[in-house]
A = this chain, B = another copy of it.
Amino acid sequence: MKIGLDVLGGDYAPESNILGAIAAQKTLKDDQRLVLFGDQEDTVERLKQAGANPDDFDFIHAPDAISMHEHPTKAISQKPNSSIAKGFVLLKNGDIDSFASAGNTGAMLVGAVFSVKTIPGVLRPAIATNVPKLKSGFGLLLDVGANADCKPEMLNQFAILGSLYTQHIYGIQDPKVGLLNIGEEEEKGNNLTISTYPLLKENDKINFIGNAEGRDLFTDLADVYVCDGFTGNVVLKLAESFYVVTLKKGMKDDFFDRFNYEQYGGSPILGVNAPVIIGHGISSPEAIKNMVLLSRNMIESQVVDKIRSAFN
């Protein structure tokens, strides 16, 4: 197993990424190799300085970084030696089994779709994020930004993607799917959700429990919440800002702790032909470490194969 990690992506790269990689590597088995994409010489030097043995890692020399504000498509095509572009070349060729980066989200999405491609039958990949539940554990919210405008058929597929992910990564059997909406009744909503409801209701690949409102997101009502990428992104960023407020105010609480992005490492792009994970821009070493472990989990669980089978 080869787990690809971008050393240059994220606000605290490369330091944070190197430290995270070292921490992750310690938990890997012998046949699980971490492949680091970045300036090879610099990376080796930093590993040594941090007391790690470079022999424990594989390296792909990719000295260019794609910054947060670069245009995704242009950057991928104009920077073939960037860590993200190289990562997707190797992922496409099967030289690595997953690729993760805390860098430019758009570049990660474009790279994934252009290299390993969308799974046949999937209309559009979605970015999924963890949603902490009040009692314990996590739910999943998707899409949170890959598709600002969605069609009902896309949301219906997100439900399948999210169900398979929560089943194989979180171990939730028969995960409950809720449609994020603005009313409990079937006829409530906007054009998109009103048209999506009957599709979800008749989708025998999922366990649809009906509409969920904003207030239900952290309850046990559902395990998977589907929505368009605009709504999901607003919700995600609002929830993050609440978490930041509780942090700043020194409010320690088990529920709020589970908002900590560091714990889950990153957000998977679901619906593409390989495990691809996008980390938070401010990823700490702990977050990077957990992004690597999530990558391993996605490879081991063969969740991408399960998704492919479902859409076959």
Contacts and interface: CB of A to CB of B under 8 A. Distances in A.
Given A145-B182, A245-B134, A253-B249, A234 B235 contact: yes
Interface centre among A213, A215, A231, A238 (most CB of B within 10 A): A238
A229 interface: yes
Contact of A214 (B148, B238, B246, B249): B238
Contacts of A229: 182, 190
Nearest to A180: B234
B233 A245 contact: no
Which range contains the number of A residues in contact with the other chain?
Answer: 35 or more
A186 B5 CA distance: 31
A241 interface: yes
Contact of A189 (B182, B230, B236, B251): B230
Contacts of A242: 242
A233 B182 contact: yes
Number of copies: 2
Contact of A149 (B190, B213, B244, B245): B190
A242 to B, nearest CB: 5
30 contacts: A134-B245, A148-B189, A149-B190, A182-B230, A182-B233, A189-B230, A190-B229, A190-B230, A193-B230, A213-B233, A214-B233, A214-B234, A214-B235, A214-B236, A214-B237, A214-B241, A217-B238, A218-B241, A218-B245, A227-B234, A234-B234, A234-B235, A235-B235, A235-B238, A238-B238, A242-B242, A246-B251, A249-B253, A251-B251, A251-B253
